[in-house]
């Protein structure tokens, strides 16, 4: 029998089975306001890392204190719902994995979108799905089984490309900063400066202070965040730090067969038609096609 990760369908959209439907329905009704900061991603593309960088910028380089949890500071909109999002301090920073057309929009809110190549995203999502034993009922699932679900979009938050393609189409918007996980890895300082300048005059001053920039980079590094996985997500089953795992580019080669790499590259080409999407990860796509 083939194992598939569990999910629920809320009003036509695939969501984790443990997220209450009220959170989803009311979350979509949240009215974005000027000054709001949305951190939008497809799952496993660097959300937590971006959340902590935004937090660090807005707190002048001071990290999230031990004992506090990122899920309270920057809540996940379609999990906690509208009222919980309205309760957080301003500027409201909100995490979402919603596609563009479901995300609450305001021209004076800011949207930070982080994309990651789909090969590494699939591997990261596979480990995440196996780690949440009760949520997904996929503890013994194989990568081959997960890959078929990822490719067909039959997983929570749906098809990777349904998320990426419309957000990418808005990358020139004044209130949207589009970054990739790979850019953040290659040049963390440049990514932090771009985020600070995007977030407004005060955050821009923060990231242009060399000592503060250094602190932000240090505290958001993989090694630093890995030390205390409890801070980044709600309690993990079996202590598995699924949100801070390997933090590498290219781990996909350890999981994908040649045929799987070709199939995902083919889907990429189909979904990228008429766009510049392929310019985001030319080397990875070439390796996948090789
Ligand atoms: P891997 O599973 O490939 O290691 P999300 O926060 O969207 O769920 O993304 C999780 C992915 O981001 C995981 O990828 C995790 O290790 C990686 N990640 C988390 N914090 C990071 C950091 N500070 N630097 C680099 N990668 C990080």
For the chain, give every domain's residue range: 7-289
| Residue of 59, 118, 45 whose CA lies nearest to 265 | 118
Which atom from ligand 1 is nearest to the alpha carbon of 185? Answer: 25
Q: Which residues line ligand 1 (CB under 6 A)?
A: 41, 43-49, 120, 124, 127, 220-222, 225, 243-247, 251
What kind and span of H or E run contains 157? none
Q: Based on the residue annotation, tell me whether 97 is a catalytic residue of this protein.
A: yes
Choice among 52, 59, 76, 97 that is catalytic? 97
Q: 122-152 b/e with 16+ CB inside 10 Å = b? A: bbbbbbbbbbbeebbebeebebebbbebbbe
> Is the preceding peptide bond at 91 cis, omega within 30 degrees of 0?
yes
How many Cα neighbours within 13 Å face the side chain of 202?
9
Give the residue whose CA is nearest to atom 26 of ligand 1: 247
How far apart are the CA of 243 and the centre of ligand 1, in A? 6
- Measured between alpha carbons, how far is residue 193 from residues 101, 128, 200, 208 in Å? 28, 30, 11, 7
Global confidence as pTM: 0.97
Domain 7-289: CATH architecture, name and number where available? 3-Layer(aba) Sandwich (3.40)
Atom of ligand 1 nearest to the CA of 244: 16
User: Which structure tokens are listed for 270?
Assistant: 């189909």
**Tens place of pLDDT for every residue, the chain, 290 residues?**
789 999 999 999 999 998 999 999 999 999 999 999 999 999 999 999 999 999 999 999 999 888 889 999 999 999 999 999 999 999 999 999 999 999 999 999 999 999 999 999 999 999 999 988 888 999 999 999 999 999 999 999 999 999 999 999 999 999 999 999 999 999 999 999 999 999 999 999 999 999 999 999 999 999 999 988 788 876 655 555 568 899 999 999 999 999 999 999 999 999 999 999 999 999 999 999 99
């Amino acid at each position: 029998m083939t194992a598939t990760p569990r999910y629920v369908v809320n009003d036509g959209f695939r969501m984790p089975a443990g997220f209450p439907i009220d959170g989803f329905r009311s979350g979509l009704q949240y009215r974005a306001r000027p000054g709001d900061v949305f951190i939008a991603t497809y799952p496993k593309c660097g959300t937590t890392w971006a959340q902590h960088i935004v937090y660090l910028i807005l707190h002048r380089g001071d990290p999230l204190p031990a004992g506090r949890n990122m899920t309270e500071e920057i809540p996940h909109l379609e999990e906690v719902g509208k009222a919980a999002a309205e309760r957080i301090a301003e500027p409201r920073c909100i995490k979402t994995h919603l596609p563009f057309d479901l995300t609450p929009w305001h021209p004076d809110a800011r949207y930070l979108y982080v994309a990651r190549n789909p090969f590494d995203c699939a591997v990261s999502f596979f480990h995440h799905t196996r780690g949440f034993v009760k949520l997904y009922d996929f503890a013994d699932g194989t990568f081959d089984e997960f890959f078929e679900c990822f490719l067909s979009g039959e997983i929570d938050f749906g098809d990777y490309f349904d998320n990426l393609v419309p957000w990418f189409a808005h990358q020139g918007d004044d209130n949207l900063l589009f970054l990739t996980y790979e850019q953040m890895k290659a040049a963390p300082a440049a990514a932090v400066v771009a985020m600070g300048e995007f977030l407004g005059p005060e955050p821009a001053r923060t990231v242009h202070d060399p000592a503060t920039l250094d602190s932000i980079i240090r505290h958001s590094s993989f090694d630093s965040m890995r030390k205390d996985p409890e801070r980044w997500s709600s309690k993990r089953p079996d202590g598995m730090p699924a949100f801070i795992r390997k933090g590498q580019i290219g781990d996909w080669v350890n999981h994908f067969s040649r045929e799987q790499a070709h199939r995902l590259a083919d889907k990429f080409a189909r979904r990228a038609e008429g766009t510049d999407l392929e310019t985001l990860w030319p080397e990875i796509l070439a390796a996948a096609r090789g």
